[in-house]
Structure 1
Amino acid sequence: MGANGISQDPFIHTWKPEDGAHLGFGHKSLLQSDGLYQYILETSVYPREPEPLKELREMTAKHPWNLMSTAADEGQFLNMLLKLINAKKTMEIGVYTGYSLLATALALPQDGKILAMDVNREHYELGLPIIEKAGVAHKIDFREGPALPVLDQLVEDDKNHGTFDFIFVDADKNNYLNYHKRLIELVKVGGLIGYDNTLWNGSVAAPADSPLPEYLIYYRPFLMELNKALAMDPRIEICMLSVSDGITLCRRIK
């Protein structure tokens, strides 16, 4: 989506799982060892993964665009993080089949709420039966369509300012800065915004002439611009983590 909220993602349907082959492995983790990443999954993640998340992960793995899904270790991280901050009201921009959404819903209390937005309801509905079976669908307010118009409506009403405990962004990378301009008004002081994919398969540190897939090359400048802007924003504290292919946590301090 561009600044006007209209989808401008030229690569959303063109990337292939094998596009990650230039890194030497078939997952999004920045770990340079398949064996080590698999060790983390099998030792720490999979034994503790709730059955609904496992079912949704395995279902999503069969989808042609499965690389869009949140990785299992990142889902585990988000679930624990939300519990640590006692989150109750959250937002998610970019849902796909709902793995991170379900991880969030399972972490929230029974009266917790998630405002979830995605331009594709069809993908969300693939995972919805599993979410319903898990007994957490009542926590989710799903909105189909561009997120920016919804965010603009929220910002217009002062009652929404500073009311969200946690916001997770995993959508069109060329709009991350546009999202940030609005989300900083909506997250509470002391609350967190998480921007996914901020290391972009490690490409943000790759030489400019590196032989990368086209979708990595296209979005890399937007993520590098975001990373610089977040580092300079006096309203937040930041922590860039090498979980999956990078997640930057922003804690609002004023």
Structure 2
Amino acid sequence: MRGNLEKNKSTEIYLIQFAREHKEHFTTAKKWDEFASSYGYPTSRQYIYQFGSWNQAKQLANLPLSNRKEYTYRKYNKEDLIQIIKEYQEHFISKEEWNKYAKANGLPHYETFLYHDISWKEILEITGKKKYTYTRQELLTIAEENGEYFANRNTWDDYAKPKELPNSYEYIKEFGNWINVKHKILKIRDEDLIEIAKKYELGNFSRRKWDEYAKEHNLPPASMYIDRFGSWNRLKAMLY
């Protein structure tokens, strides 16, 4: 059903049946709108107009009610949130610090701003602060929690961008190259390193020449091998 809906009994029945048929998407108003917009389905606004509230629509469809988070998200509008940013700008140091302050003072958590399409970057622009810089430990913690997306830089960047996580450049700036990042997070096995060394005939390289070659071909640097196997000469002896 497309377009505006008038309030009547047949429309109510249709909307309730429609919600039940697509119940896996009928969770929060935002998630429903993301799904509905792709197919021209009735929006959350049309459900709220018809039934008075999102939860009322879900209740009539015998679907689990939205939790308190959804209510909190919708409690504020974008203008309210921008005013809060301006009023409490000195407390927007990091997402974690803001959430601590917000919890203690009855203010909306960062997720509420994100729900209304106000990114952390926009918050910092409003407050006049520079872009937040992640510590080495914060980068490692984020990476360990999302390790399955670290196969390559493109995969990570595609995953990180909508979630406002640090991009691959942030990691390379801290750890030197993407192989070092994967080494720290995914713990490349000794046998994997040996296999790479044999495949690319590492035994024919000096440390300096290997690093030049490794950088060009996105391979583990000499320092990783020495760290793992003790010395460059010992590593080369293991290859024969």
TM class by shorter chain equals under 0.3
Larger radius of gyration: 2
Q: Counting strand residues as a fraction of each chain, which structure ranks higher?
A: 1
> Normalising by the residue count of structure 1, what TM-score does the alignment of the two structures yield?
0.23
Q: Counting helix residues as a fraction of each chain, which structure ranks higher?
A: 2
